[in-house]
Amino acid sequence: MSSAPSRVVELAGGVGGARLGHGLQSILGSALSVVVNTGDDLERHGLLVCPDHDTVLYTLAGIEGPFGWGIAGDTSATMAQLGAYGEETWFGLGDRDLAAHVVRTARIRAGTSLTAANLGLQRALGLAATILPMTDESVRTEVRTVEGWLEFQEYFVHRQQEPAVLEVRFRGIETAAPTAEVRLALDAAQAIVIAPSNPIVSVGPILAVAGLREMIERARSAGMPVVAVSGIVGGRALKGPADRMLASLGHEPSALGVARIYAGLATGFVVDPVDAHYTPEIERLGLRTLVVDTIMVDDASRARVAADVLAFAGTLARAVG
């Protein structure tokens, strides 16, 4: 490969993955496939809700809310009425957002797959890129705290990430398999990008799907660049509880700690300038390192980070070739 890759698979979950995905889509268009975590999925009010998929969906469609999730300008009249009927409303769903969950649930009940249902939503919103669930089987992330095992959204939203996480498990992962669409995307890819998402509960479930890590390892062994972007900057998570979770699970809550998790899988690692001092230690792990500004605050910075990541992937490919 003599230039930046033209077909890319991003492994993503949540806001960080969505923002980088938006930047990658602005460059690659339909040549981008985003494999998203489904361990965060849950059932609310009889509907299947896919938080990570929908965060990526709305962001790539350019309609995400100001905090990175939901739909910009959405209202919450339905949730207020559910509360009036005595229903729990701690997991908020906007009125326009609800439409996705209604349509998805109805189509799955009619016999379609999760992948097909979500692809239908993407086509309706005019996405250029493709978002693929990591599996069509049901996988649910659970975390163990001093209170016992909690479903992920109970911990993340209802408990506001307050209890320390002592252990993580992915219920149903033993019977989950990558979809044909995920396999085809990986087979066609010229580079794999691991988003600046929580390495434990966002990227972790994706890599735990039977055979998926092995597919990436084979691609890497054949010379494909695998670039991971640190979501920990200056010892803090840009979004969510990743820094606290890493610490409570025995990992160093730093860019170096994240690099250690991906060592042996990734070939390149991207860190922010505030973490440049980790470069020698990261490279001793066998990871080529790129130091660039990784903060994504608007469309321009998302595209800039994406361009830097793609150029780095091209450099790694040339080094192998």
Q: Taking a C-beta distance cutoff of 8 angstroms, is the pair 36, 17 a contact?
A: yes
Q: Taking a C-beta distance cutoff of 8 angstroms, is the pair 259, 287 a contact?
A: yes
Distance, CA of 306 to CA of 145 (rounded, Å): 36
The first and second tokens of residue 217, run together, are 């390892």
Distance, CA of 52 to CA of 73 (rounded, Å): 19
Which three-class secondary structure state does DSSP give residue 222? Answer: coil
The first and second tokens of residue 268, run together, are 């390149």
Q: Taking a C-beta distance cutoff of 8 angstroms, is the pair 275, 234 a contact?
A: yes
What pairs with residue 47 in β-bridges?
44
Alpha carbon distances (Å) from 294 to 12, 214, 278, 281? 16, 28, 15, 19
Q: Taking a C-beta distance cutoff of 8 angstroms, is the pair 263, 252 a contact?
A: no
Distance, CA of 36 to CA of 134 (rounded, Å): 6
- Strand segments (E) across the chain: 8-12, 32-36, 42-44, 47-49, 130-133, 140-145, 148-151, 167-171, 191-194, 226-229, 232-233, 236-237, 268-271, 288-291
Distance, CA of 115 to CA of 182 (rounded, Å): 10
The first and second tokens of residue 173, run together, are 């992962």
**What letter represents residue 4's amino acid?**
A
pLDDT score at 318: 80
pLDDT score at 3: 79
The first and second tokens of residue 57, run together, are 């969906």
pLDDT score at 1: 40
Q: Which of 56, 66, 72, 63 is nearest to 24 (CA)?
A: 56
**H/E element holding 257?**
helix 255-262
**This prediction's pTM:** 0.96
Percentage helix, strand, coil for the chain under 3-state DSSP, each rounded to 5? 45, 20, 35
**What letter represents residue 304's amino acid?**
R
**What letter represents residue 230's amino acid?**
S
Please report, in angstroms and rounded to a whole number, the separation of the first and last CA atoms in the chain.
7
| CA–CA–CA angle 113, 115, 121 (5° rounding) | 110
Burial annotation 189-223 (CB, 10 A radius, 16+ → b, else e): bbbbbbbbbbbbbbbbbbbbbeebeebbeebbeee
- CATH class label, 8-41+128-143+172-320: alpha beta
Tell me the pLDDT of the chain (321 aa) as tens digits.
447 888 999 999 989 999 999 999 999 999 999 999 999 999 999 999 999 999 999 999 999 999 888 999 999 999 999 999 999 999 999 999 999 999 999 999 999 999 999 999 999 999 999 999 999 999 999 999 999 999 999 999 999 999 999 999 999 999 999 999 999 999 999 999 999 999 999 999 999 999 999 999 999 999 999 999 999 999 999 888 999 999 999 999 999 999 999 999 999 999 999 999 999 999 999 999 999 999 999 999 999 999 999 999 999 988 876
Half-sphere exposure of 180 (CA within 13 A, CB side): 2
pLDDT score at 5: 86
